[in-house]
Structure 1
Amino acid sequence: MISLLKRRETLLLLIIVVMITGFSSRADGFASPTNLAGIFNDTSILIILALAQMTVILTKSIDLSVAANLAFTGMAIAMINAAYPGIPLVFLVLAAIAIGAALGAINGFFVWNLEMPPIVVTLGTLTIYRGMTFVLSGGAWVNAHQMTPTFLNVPRASILGLPVLGWIGIVIVALIYLMLRHSPIGRSIYAAGGNPTAAVYAGIDVGRTRFFAFVLSGALAGLCGYLWVSRYAVAYVDIANGFELDSVAACVIGGISIAGGVGSVVGAVLGSLFLGVIKNALPVIGISPFTQMAISGTVIIFAVVFNARREKNRGRIILRNRSVEEPSQEVLA
C-alpha cells in the first residue's frame, strides 16, 4: 500500500480527485457523471496528442510540430469533404492519418538521416506546416454548413453516455499501452531513450526507432486533425494554436522524463486530465484566462522540479548502493 502511494500516477490521481471535490464545492454539478464525462470528452484530443508526444519524448526527442500537423491535416480533410461530399468518411479518416504520418516522417527523416537536433527540426516544421495551412486555405475558413452531416456528427454520437470522440480516445490509449508494454518496438522506444549506447549494443537501431516514433506521433496528430475539425465544426489556420505546449505539459506533469526512457501511458493520460480539469473548472469559478495560464505554468515548473529531484535521488541511491557493495566484496575476497 505504501509503495502504491509513492507512485507518481497514484499521487496525481489523488490530486485530480481532490481538485474535482474542491471545484464541486464552488460549482454545483461539477462532479456529476455527466459533467465528468464531458470533461473527459473535451480532453480526449489532448490525451491523444499527449500520447503522440510521449512516444517521441521516450526516445529522447521532442515534437513541437504536433499542433501544426493537426492544423494542416484538419484543414486539408475539411476542404476535401467540402469539395467532394460523396467521399466516405472512413477514407477521409484514413487520409488524415496518412497525411499526418507523412508530415511526421519528414521530422523523422531529418532527425534520423541528417542527425539534426529534434527541437530544431520540429520548431522549423512547426512554422512550415502552419504556413502550408495558410497557403492551402488562402486564409479562408471552412465552416459547418460546408461540411457533410456525417463528417460532423459521427464523433458527437453518444454510446453508453459517452460521445464517440471519448471512445476513440479510450481505444487509442489502450493501443498505445499495448504497443509500449507488450511489443518489441515499445521496448525499443524505451531503450533508445533510456540508454542509447546500450541499445545499440543490444542490436536496436536507435535512429530507426526515433523515425518510427515521429511517424506514429504524426499519424496520431493527423487523426486529431479530423477529430478537432468535426468536434468544433470549423477549420481555420490557427487551429490548436499552442496545443504543442499543452501536449508537452501533460507529459511532464504525468511523469514522462524529458531526458527520455521514463514514463507511462497512465501518467500521460492523468497529466492530460489534470490540465483538462483545470481548463474546465477555472472559468466556472470565475478565474480569468491570464490567471489560468499562470496557474498552468506554475504547475508545469513544479512538475519539472519534482521529476528532476526524483531522477537525481535515484542516481544517488544507485551510487550509494554500489559504495556499500564494493567494501563487502573486498572483505569476501
Structure 2
Amino acid sequence: MLVTFLKSREAILTGALLLLLALIASRFPAFVAPRNLAAVFNDTAPLIILALGQMVVILTRCIDLSVAANLALCGMVAALLNVAVPGLPVVVIIAAVTALGAVLGAFNGILVWKVGIPPIVVTLGTLTIFRGLIFLISDGKWINAHEMTAPFKALPRADILGLPVLSWLAILMIAGFALLIGRMPLGRSFFAVGGNPHAAVYTGIDVGRTQFMAFVLSGALAGLTGYLWVARYAVAYVDIAAGFELDVIAACVIGGISIAGGIGSVGGAVLGALFLGIIKNALPVVNISPFWQMAISGAAIIIAVTLNARSSRPKGRLILRKAEATT
C-alpha cells in the first residue's frame, strides 16, 4: 500500500509541496508557521472548491471555461439581493445563488448533451454571456462594503474551532467529493465516461447525462463560491475573478487530472490548488515579482502534462506488443 502511494501522482505532488515550503522557509521561516499556513489554506479555499467541480467535468472529457464568469454572476446576484432585501437571511441568499450556479451549469450541459456542441466552444460562449449579464444587471456599477449588511459579510470570516467558515466549507467539499468519487455510482460514471465512452454506453451509462451532471455540479460550486468571494472581499463588480478559470484548470492539470478524461483524484485536485495557492502567497513574501507566478504556473502545467503523457505511453506499447504477438 505504501509503495503504491509513493509511486502515485499525489506522492510526487506532496513531495513537491514540501520542497517548495522548505525553499520558502529558508528565506522566510515565518511562512511555514501553522497560523500562516492556515491562512494560506483559507486564501486557496475558493480555488480548491472550484477545482473539485472542474475535476468532474474534465473526468468526462469536457471542460468548463465559464466557471469564473459563473462565479462572478452569482456573486453579483448575491450582492444585489443583499442590497435590495437587507433582511433576507444569508442562508436563503446562499441557496439562491447556488441554485442559480447549478442552472447556469445545466445550460452548459444541455448544449453539450442535447445540441452536441463541443464543450470548449459552449463554455467560451457562455463565459462571454455571463460577463455581459453581470454588466446588465448591475449597470456596470460596483457594490461596496458599506452597502452590504454585516451578517452577509461576516459568514465566510466567522471562526469555528480556529478556522474560518470558508476553510471549513472547503474541507467539507473535499470530504463530499471523496465520497462521491470513491463510493457513489455517479462518481464511477464520471471515470467510465471519460475513460471509454463507448464501453460506458454498453454498461448502461448515459454519457450525455453524466456530462450534464458534471456541469451542474461545477456550476453549483461556482454559485456557492460566488457568494463566498463577494462576502469575503466585500465588493462586487463586473470583472470579479477575471481569468480565474485558468487557475482552476491549471490546478486540475497540475494535480494529475488528465485532459483526455478518465484519470484523476480528489487529492490531486486539492494538491494542485494548494501548489498554486502557496506560490501566489509566497512570492510577494520572498520579494519575487508576482509576474513569476504566471511563469512558474505555466512551467508546472507543462511538466504535469508531460508526466501524464509519459505515464500513458507504456500502456500503448504493451497493447502494441500484444497485438504483434498474436499476428
Q: If the length of structure 1 is used for normalisation, what is the TM-score?
A: 0.95
Q: For this pair of structures, how many residues does the alignment match?
A: 326
Residue 11 of structure 1: aligned partner = 12
Residue 223 of structure 1: aligned partner = 224
Residue 50 of structure 2: aligned partner = 49
Return the alpha-carbon distance in structure 2 between the equivalents of residues 300 and 214 of structure 1: 23
User: What is the CA deviation profile of residues 130-186 of structure 1, one whole-angstrom value per residue up to 9, with x for unaligned ones?
Assistant: 111111111111111111111111110111221110000000111111111111111
> What is the CA-CA distance between 1:2 and the residue it aligns to?
3.5
1:79 maps to 2:74: no
> What is the CA-CA distance between 1:4 and the residue it aligns to?
2.3
Return the alpha-carbon distance in structure 2 between the equivalents of residues 274 and 49 of structure 1: 15
Return the alpha-carbon distance in structure 2 between the equivalents of residues 318 and 11 of structure 1: 27
> What is the CA-CA distance between 1:226 and the residue it aligns to?
0.4
Return the alpha-carbon distance in structure 2 between the equivalents of residues 289 and 317 of structure 1: 44
Matched to 1:82, the amino acid is V
> What is the CA-CA distance between 1:24 and the residue it aligns to?
1.1
Matched to 1:272, the amino acid is A
Return the alpha-carbon distance in structure 2 between the equivalents of residues 314 and 177 of structure 1: 27
1:276 maps to 2:295: no
Residue 331 of structure 1: aligned partner = none
Residue 158 of structure 1: aligned partner = 159
Residues 321 and 162 (structure 1), Cα distance of their counterparts in 2 relative to 1, 3 Å cut:
farther
The residue correspondences of 1:1-333 to structure 2 (distance < 5 A) are: 1-320=2-321, 326=326
Return the alpha-carbon distance in structure 2 between the equivalents of residues 315 and 162 of structure 1: 46
Return the alpha-carbon distance in structure 2 between the equivalents of residues 320 and 155 of structure 1: 56
User: What is the CA deviation profile of residues 25-56 of structure 1, one whole-angstrom value per residue up to 9, with x for unaligned ones?
Assistant: 11131000000000100000000000110110
> What is the CA-CA distance between 1:322 and the residue it aligns to?
6.3
Identity among equivalent positions (%) equals 62
> What is the CA-CA distance between 1:313 and the residue it aligns to?
2.4
Return the alpha-carbon distance in structure 1 between the equivalents of residues 274 and 322 of structure 2: 37
User: What is the CA deviation profile of residues 207-256 of structure 1, one whole-angstrom value per residue up to 9, with x for unaligned ones?
Assistant: 01111111111000000000100111111111111111111100000000
Task: Check conservation: 2:82, 2:148, Cα contact below 8 A.
Answer: yes
> What is the CA-CA distance between 1:3 and the residue it aligns to?
2.9
Residues 322 and 36 (structure 1), Cα distance of their counterparts in 2 relative to 1, 3 Å cut:
farther
User: What is the CA deviation profile of residues 257-288 of structure 1, one whole-angstrom value per residue up to 9, with x for unaligned ones?
Assistant: 00001100000000000000110101111111
Residues 319 and 3 (structure 1), Cα distance of their counterparts in 2 relative to 1, 3 Å cut:
farther
Matched to 1:151, the amino acid is F
Return the alpha-carbon distance in structure 2 between the equivalents of residues 310 and 6 of structure 1: 11
> What is the CA-CA distance between 1:122 and the residue it aligns to?
0.2
Return the alpha-carbon distance in structure 2 between the equivalents of residues 290 and 301 of structure 1: 17
Return the alpha-carbon distance in structure 2 between the equivalents of residues 159 and 179 of structure 1: 25
Return the alpha-carbon distance in structure 2 between the equivalents of residues 84 and 312 of structure 1: 57
Return the alpha-carbon distance in structure 1 between the equivalents of residues 214 and 293 of structure 2: 32
Return the alpha-carbon distance in structure 1 between the equivalents of residues 5 and 107 of structure 2: 41
Return the alpha-carbon distance in structure 2 between the equivalents of residues 100 and 221 of structure 1: 6
The alignment partner of 2:32 has SS state of coil
Return the alpha-carbon distance in structure 2 between the equivalents of residues 45 and 321 of structure 1: 46
Matched to 2:92, the amino acid is F
Return the alpha-carbon distance in structure 2 between the equivalents of residues 82 and 246 of structure 1: 30
The alignment partner of 1:30 has SS state of helix
The alignment partner of 1:288 has SS state of coil
The alignment partner of 2:70 has SS state of helix
Return the alpha-carbon distance in structure 2 between the equivalents of residues 321 and 7 of structure 1: 26
Task: Check conservation: 2:280, 2:290, Cα contact below 8 A.
Answer: no
Moved more, 32-41 or 285-294: 285-294
Matched to 1:285, the amino acid is V
Return the alpha-carbon distance in structure 2 between the equivalents of residues 115 and 174 of structure 1: 33
Return the alpha-carbon distance in structure 2 between the equivalents of residues 269 and 5 of structure 1: 17
The alignment partner of 1:142 has SS state of coil
Q: If the length of structure 2 is used for normalisation, what is the TM-score?
A: 0.97
Matched to 2:104, the amino acid is L
Return the alpha-carbon distance in structure 2 between the equivalents of residues 160 and 318 of structure 1: 53
Matched to 1:161, the amino acid is G
Return the alpha-carbon distance in structure 1 between the equivalents of residues 100 and 259 of structure 2: 27
